[in-house]
Amino acid sequence: MLTRLKRLKDNETRKLVGIVLAGKMMAVVLVLGAMQASNWYLNSAAGAATALPQHHPNDFVSPINTMWVLVTAFLVFFMQAGFMGLEAGFARSRETVNILMECVFDTCLCGLLYWAIGFAFQFGAGNGFIGHQYFFLHGITPAYGSTGVAFLAFWLFQFAFADTASTVTSGAMVGRTSFKGDILYSICVSGFIYPIFGHWVWGPGGWLENGSGSLFKTFGTGGAFFRDFAGSTVVHTVGGMIALAGAIALGPRLGRVFKRDGGGPMPAHDLTWGAIGGVILWFGWYGFNPGSTLSAMDWEGIGRVAMNTTIAACAGGMVAVMWVYPQTKKWDLGISVNGFLGGLVAITAPCYWVSPFGAVCIGAIAGIVVPLGINALEHFRIDDPIGAVPVHAFCGIWGTLSLGLFATGQYGIPTPDGADNSTTVNGLFYGGGVNQLKAQFIGSLACILIVTSVALLIMFGIRQIRGSWNLRLDKDSELEGLDIVEHGTPAYHVEFGYGMSYTTPTGASLPGASSIDLKAASENQPV
């Protein structure tokens, strides 16, 4: 048998084998066919329309809300493609495979962890600090809580969020993190830090948003609780601050010279992917924010959230470019992308409670926060290749606070049946006083202090491990390039002349690249 298979490389034999194989199979087919021959023309299609049972109007709430949550969950998941494009594009070609692999691997890891423990920590019943129900999704009900959304659809939506937080983290740690180190910190982020902090804000009884709120009473917020509609704090500040901790623990990439030392950011290797990756993220944000109503019955709410998201992104992108242009006299593509991403991050917390005008203001200020943040990191010699910290951490903080300023006081919270405006959110600029602002400050500060301190301990801890599980790759490997060392392959392989043509600035061709030489070259190929 084996000898026969070996001969498959021989052309004639292969044909013969194929024909014999086909012949044998045809025989089987004929037998099977004969068995069915008697039925062939006797069968007729059913297809008769069955009468619909009588529906009650309330039957449609769960289908509508579940469809909405699923479609938006798909969009949030698709943000992974955007992150991969954005991060790889803005990085160097030598670390591209590593970035792609981390995104794929972390997604797989996050899915398994979120199924096993993450969801239980975040959305299981427990106390104000952690949930302990639904481990491995045991004991689930048809719909999650009172949302009217299928439990597993709700899980998918929340998994996609967890995955995003995990990916944000990797952005500032590009180019020098060992893959084993990545596995270690990703387990901490996806399995513990994100879901536990998430429980505080979004979990049943979480102390920051729904809890007894003794802290809020202490600081006198007048009944206002911390609000984070879609995760400026829960996803972006968390992800961004862990990223900052990682970048500090790692130190800069070899060869990275900062502005004050006469250098600057390393060149992006593919701005096409960088920019289009950013636009994919914007697209995915239409899942992130509007989906966070968990309900399409609140039809005014999803429209408002989607519109506010858009206009804040526009303002962020526009202002960031205009802020940088006078300094460099260049229309900076990188800053325009990070600008609209900053606007998106900022509007994520307040998008349900502000007006389009408020969204423009929030986005515009985010567009200034981003370049200032980039300069600050450059000043402190922190190497954040993608700008993850300014965009996610800093704009996340700004967006969280902005709710306390711009909330119009018209809107309450979405429910499975529509909006519940019995208790509304009021910001300082709309006559609501400083109560909401205080509450936002408490929540944001809690995140910054607690998450960052835990992250620093973890990152510096992994940095202390001896050998290949250390957070940072050894120097020789980093010089040779992460892709080659960790993943065994460069990201790109160019065949000059075959499938790629080129021009030097003088219009000259490299030796051996004309189409005449092509033929000669072919003769020398192993065939």
Q: Would you count residue 187 as binding a copy of itself (CB under 8 A)? A: no
Tell me how many degrees the CA angle 444-447-452 measures, rounded to the nearest 5. Answer: 130
34 binds a copy of itself (CB under 8 A): no
Q: What part of residues 112-131 is at the interface with a copy of itself (CB under 8 A)?
A: 112, 115, 124-129, 131
- What the block records as the tokens of 309 is 């998201």
Give residues 413-432 in contact with a copy of itself (rule: CB under 8 A).
416-417
C-beta closer to a copy of itself: residue 137 or 433: 137
Q: Which is nearer to a copy of itself, 54 or 422 (CB)?
A: 54
The residue (of 223 and 480) whose beta carbon lies closer to a copy of itself is 480
Q: Does 382 bind a copy of itself (CB under 8 A)?
A: yes
> Which one, 59 or 423, has the nearer CB to a copy of itself?
59
DSSP 128-192: SS-B-S-GGGTT--SBSTTS-SBHHHHHHHHHHHHHHHHHHHHHTTTTTB-HHHHHHHHHHIIII
How many residues belong to the site for a copy of itself (CB under 8 A)?
234
* DSSP structure class, residue 56: P
- Scanning 81-89, 184-192, 224-232, 425-433 for contacts with a copy of itself by CB under 8 A, the matching segment is 81-89
Which residue, 360, 437, 431, is CA-closest to 404? 437
Contact 190, 106 (CB under 8 A): yes
Task: Report the nearest approach of a copy of itself to the CB of residue 39 (Å).
Answer: 5
CA angle, residues 89, 251, 262, in degrees to nearest 5 = 75
- Residue 349 found at the interface with a copy of itself (CB under 8 A): no
Q: Is 465 in the site for a copy of itself (CB under 8 A)?
A: no
Binding status of residue 252 toward a copy of itself by CB under 8 A: yes
- Spatial contact of 220 and 230, defined as CB atoms under 8 Å apart: no
- Footprint (CB under 8 A) of a copy of itself, residues 274-333: 275-276, 278-280, 282-283, 286, 290, 296-297, 299-300, 302-304, 306-308, 310-311, 313-318, 321, 328, 330-333
The yes or no reply on residue 268 touching a copy of itself (CB under 8 A) is yes
Piece in contact with a copy of itself (CB under 8 A), picked from 198-206, 229-237, 386-394, 431-439: 198-206
Q: Which of residues 352-381 bind a copy of itself (CB under 8 A)?
A: 356-357, 360, 379-381
Question: b vs e for 105-140, b when ≥16 Cβ sit within 10 Å of the residue's Cβ?
Answer: ebbebbbebbbebbbbbbbbebebbbbeebbeeeeb
Contact status: 193 vs a copy of itself (CB under 8 A): no
| Contact of 501 with 518, CB cutoff 8 Å | no
Rounded to the nearest whole angstrom, what is the least distance from the CB of residue 7 to a copy of itself in the complex?
Answer: 10
Q: Provide CB contacts within 8 A for 403, sequence distance 6+.
A: 227, 349, 350, 353, 354, 425, 427, 436, 440
Nearer to a copy of itself, 103 or 433 (CB): 103
CB 169 within 8 A of CB 175: no
Structure tokens at 86: 């954005």
* Radius of gyration for the chain, computed over Cα atoms and rounded to the nearest angstrom: 28
155 binds a copy of itself, rule: CB under 8 A: yes
User: Is there a contact between 257 and 263 (Cβ–Cβ < 8 Å)?
Assistant: yes
Among 3, 34, 146, 326, binds a copy of itself (CB under 8 A): 146
Select from 111-119, 164-172, 189-197, 424-432 the region that touches a copy of itself (CB under 8 A).
111-119
Using CB under 8 A, pick the residue from 34, 41, 326, 422 that binds a copy of itself.
Answer: 41
When the beta carbons of 124 and 231 are compared against a copy of itself, the nearer one is 124
